Homo-oligomer: A and B are copies of this chain.
Amino acid sequence: MINLAAGKCVACRGDEPMLTEAEIEDLKFHVPEWQVRDVDGMNRLERSFKFKNFAQALEFTNKIGAIAEEEDHHPRIITEWGRVTVY
């Protein structure tokens, strides 16, 4: 059983192979809340989280930021009133 949440980020060297469609399908099963979107020919993982207001959204952005710093792997985070989107 794969445990994605227990995984750690490792810096890319730039020559890693892309995931195959079959591998993506298998991994998506473990993180069904995440969408895979094709952006300019590159697959991108994306998920939106809803909140009651702007302050809660920004608080969540800071939590993601803390983990991103710890892992040295930084997503793009869109913070807006009541919603945070990570990709």
Residues of A within 8 A of B (CB): 54-55, 58, 61-62, 65, 68-69, 74-81
Contact = CB atoms under 8 A, between A and B. Distances in A.
Contact of A58 (B54, B61, B81): B61
User: How many copies make up the complex?
Assistant: 2
A63 to B, nearest CB: 11
A58 B66 CA distance: 10
B79 A65 contact: yes
B54 A74 contact: yes
B77 A79 contact: yes
A61 B78 CA distance: 10
Given A54-B68, A58-B61, A58-B62, A78 B81 contact: no
